[in-house]
Structure 1
Amino acid sequence: MSKKKSIWCVVLVVNYGSHELIARNFSTLPCREDGVAMVVVDNFSTEAERREIRALCQTRGWDLVTSGINLGFGTGVNLGVEHALGLDPETIVLLNPDAVIDASGLRQLADEVRGDQQRLVCPRIEDTAGKVFFAGALLDMGNGDTLGAASARRRADADYREWLTGACLAFAPSLWRKVGGFSDDYFLYWEDIDFSFRAVQAGAELRYAPHILVIHDEGGTQQAGGQRAKSGLYYYYNIRNRMLFARTWLSGADQRRWIRGSLRASWEIILRGGRRQLLQSLKPWRALFLGLYDGFRDVRGAQR
């Protein structure tokens, strides 16, 4: 009887209407025979999309995990990791549908994790034009502002904490079990910041690996037609979850100060899509109101 080939890496992607991106961006990764398993979690969007992603996974020999509803990003990841753990992999690499990594980069990420299983590892991420999407990140615990790790500190006396993006994240199964996975409360956005904080709390090292490159077009799964405006979900969950994070990690005066600054922060989030959208659509205004309303009410796990 032949010995079952070990899996040195599971690549995990959460899909929501993005089968074409996944077909293109994951076509050159090593296959099961090379010790790499691909797990696709399909958050239900349409019957047509479900048929397309199922056919793609059957053709490529990938594992498909399906949900009858849209679980959101973090809960979708949790579902996929639960399946991945059954494959007994050495490492797990989480990738966005619009992220591209070559075989060498994947191997390097896995090696970083195998070098210390208490590491949570993230590579350098650039878009196709070479613009930096992620090169380390910081969170200002005083007001909730996020900035690049290489950026000048905005406030000399601020308490800045590191976090890693979920666009590409590598970890060992043992660390995942120790941290307990992503929080189901966030649905979309800020769950990676929360996960980073809980990983540090569990004794993990957040490791930014600048020598490993991933290509990622920001908003590739959220925008269409080259428009700058973001989706209503982008605005709503960034606004709401910023306040949810404050309630989870802060208390007393610190929490109240962060919550009081929510109107300013929320307006800055809306303006990421430009001012023209505000004259053309009610969607950003609706997302602004609902995000603030649910954030102030501390609605956990709500879906819009």
Structure 2
Amino acid sequence: MTDAEETIAVVVVTYHSEAVLPGLLTTLEQGLDGLSWHLTVADNASADESVATVRRLLPAARVVEMGRNAGYAAGINAAVAAAGEHTAVLVLNPDIRLTPGCGRELVEVLRRTGAGIVVPRMERGDGSQIAALRREPSIPRAFGDALLGASRATRYPWLGELVAGERSYAEETVADWGAGSAMLISAECWRRVAPWDESFFLYSEETDFALRARDAGLLTRLAPRALVVHLEGESKVSPRLWAMLSVNRVRLYRRRHRAWATALYWSALVLREASRAVLGNPASRAAATALTSPRLLRTAPGPEWMVRRG
């Protein structure tokens, strides 16, 4: 099969994304050069000009107006359902920027290795590396993060969830999961593992999908020569989003482990957030409050947790 015979369904979920969308849309042509592709955007009831921006810059794109803030997973599912025929699905955040030829690199690794998911190497806008690969969440890794901090815990694979370091991103690497902001999913993987779990609304949905793909024998791989720039979102600065992220980590872990293990994992997250809340971190204060609220842990976080993004 040649590159021209590959047809990529590019799917993007927007929510108040008007400010960052042009930067993505104008890089699709160079990033996907040599490939056949089409774009489908699922808009989660943006109050800005997100939909108008898509229709102005790429009139041929399909737009699915969700009519409500349905979440990231629901948007992806709806966009893929509305997309035309395809041999792979490329999920992109609105704040991703493709570099020339990265699409061909992703497709080449997907085709050659038989992976279920391929993720690119990521950099921030200032050129610094983003650790896009992750190890499966575990009790030792949760305590490693709590006691050592994420950056120091990465030195020890059994204590760190992040896969960090330049050497880790210099060659094709298999990981338990990768950042959902940019990932190429094979048609087989989508057929066997989809849909994305919409109960997560935002955060942990890509972890869940990649771990279920791995369970099915469809691995996540890094394409080191495929580079994207990620402007990144607000989870590190928004207390409500960080709280949602933390609660969803526990919800995901609980689905895959017994009650006693979940209790230990939860305690590690509470330790992490409470210790940082004492130091005055507002995001950790919000997360610690959410993690110690039985009601919030029982109820899946939804749109009421959201703040304006992008």
TM-score w.r.t. structure 1 length? Answer: 0.79
The answer (yes or no) to whether the contact 2:33–2:100 under 8 Å persists in 1 is: no
- Structural mapping, 1:3-82, within 5 Å: 8-30=7-29, 35-46=36-47, 48-49=48-49, 52-53=52-53, 55-56=55-56, 59-82=58-81
**Per-residue deviation, 1:96:** 1.0
Decide which of 254, 274, 298 is 1:247's aligned counterpart: 254
Change (3 A) 1:234 1:302: closer
Match of 2:106 in 1: 109
* Residue in 1 that maps onto 2:201: 187
Q: Percent identity over the alignment?
A: 22
Equivalent residue letter for 2:20: L
| Deviation at residue 292 of structure 1 after TM alignment | 3.8
Tell me the SS of whatever aligns to 2:136. Answer: strand
Gaps of 5+ in 1: 224-228
Unmatched segments (≥5 aa) in structure 2: 164-174, 305-310
For these two proteins, the number of residue pairs brought into alignment is 281
In 2: Cα distance, 1:297 partner to 1:266 partner: 15
1:294 to 1:79, Cα distance in 2 relative to 1, 3 A: farther
CA contact (8 A) 1:117 1:175 kept: no
> So what's the TM-score if we normalise by structure 2?
0.78
Higher RCO (CA < 8 A, seq sep 6+): 2
> Which residue of structure 2 lines up, in the alignment, with residue 264 of structure 1?
271
CA distance 1:111–1:36, change in 2 (3 Å): same
Instruction: Give structure 1 regions of 4+ aligned residues with deviation exceeding 4 angstroms.
Output: 31-34, 154-158, 268-271, 283-288
Match of 1:204 among 210, 214, 218: 218
Whether 1:172 aligns to 2:186 is yes
Q: Distance in 2 between matches of 1:290 and 1:20?
A: 30
Q: Tell me the C-alpha RMSD between the 2 structures.
A: 3.4
Deviation at 1:39, TM superposition (A): 1.2
Residue 260 of structure 1 and its aligned partner are, at CA, apart by 2.3
Partners in 1 of 2:254 and 2:95 — Cα distance? 31
Change (3 A) 1:268 1:6: farther
Q: Deviations over 1:24-57 (max 9, x none)?
A: 22213238996211111111131x4355345436
Question: Higher mean Cα deviation, 284-293 or 126-135?
Answer: 284-293
Q: Secondary structure at the match of 1:89?
A: coil
